[in-house]
Structure 1
Amino acid sequence: MTLRLKSLLAISLLSSPTVFANSFEGHRVGLGFTATEVEDVWSGEDYSANGMTFEYGYDINRIVGVNVSYNKGSGDVSFIDIDTSTFKIDTDIGYTFQLTDFTIKPYGAIGFSKYKEEFSIVDNKLGSWSDSTIFVGVGTRAVFNNHFYTDLRVDFMNLEDEGEDVFVDQFSFTVGYKF
């Protein structure tokens, strides 16, 4: 094969859409559902709050990604209404597998979270508390047609309220677009 033919072949392969279709890096924006389970050791109460999550992420390569998310939910214990909010920034580490028409990435996550609860009875505010902590999580993200994605994830936080342990598990399911 001549050098010129080899060069033309290399250029055509590199400019092929299939080469660029397997890009693992890029920005992501998603919206989804979140369910928060709280185990308050001090009060002995277990309760949950359901709501929405908004996330932004950037996949650096097929292994590492960074994420910023905000979750807002509401629930109740007896006759007390509880509103929760969580701001998280984290990194996910896993391996992205390329399949026929989609990619899938099982991952572990570690990051920083700011969690807050507000208590009220019939819109009369009773009080609130918040705490910040390092958290861990696990999840799986799938990207379809190189743009649409779903992310299924569970995060675990160990918080304190007036010196007592509060364990928070947060499940989220997000659907979004990858640029």
Structure 2
Amino acid sequence: MTEAPSSRYKVVERGRRLVVIDTRTGREATAAPPPDRTSASDKRGSAEGLDPVDRMLGRVAGAVINAAPRSVDDRSGRPILKTSPLYDLKGPRRVILDENTQRAFAGVVIVTLVIGFVLLSVAVEWPAILIVPALVLINGTRPIRRWITARIDALDQAAD
């Protein structure tokens, strides 16, 4: 069996503090890199200070890059509802909610949770009640998905 190569870093105690040492350079790995001779304003707008992938993608130094849209809220601080093709015929899409649509959506969530809780509570005592959701799934969910899509469209238009 072969031995694993030695680690590049080692941890030592100096003055009752743990310090990480880079064994290749002999310097502390946690030390700040040496200061760059060019100022940040000189690099702004150029591709000098970027790695090759960023240069290939055309990014410039100093630019603020949002790779993915924010999922919690939009730029104004309002929440975003992400839909799924499982229940939304037009999904996936992102619907920005304002205060009124947020209250309406919260009401829908509460009603859905109450119905689910009641259904499960009744199913414990009377398992035959589970036939109703099974029949809905067998007969197709397209009408239900169409109804949900119409409600999401109303939320989307009310938020605009």
What is the TM-score normalised by the length of structure 1?
A: 0.21
What is the TM-score normalised by the length of structure 2?
A: 0.22
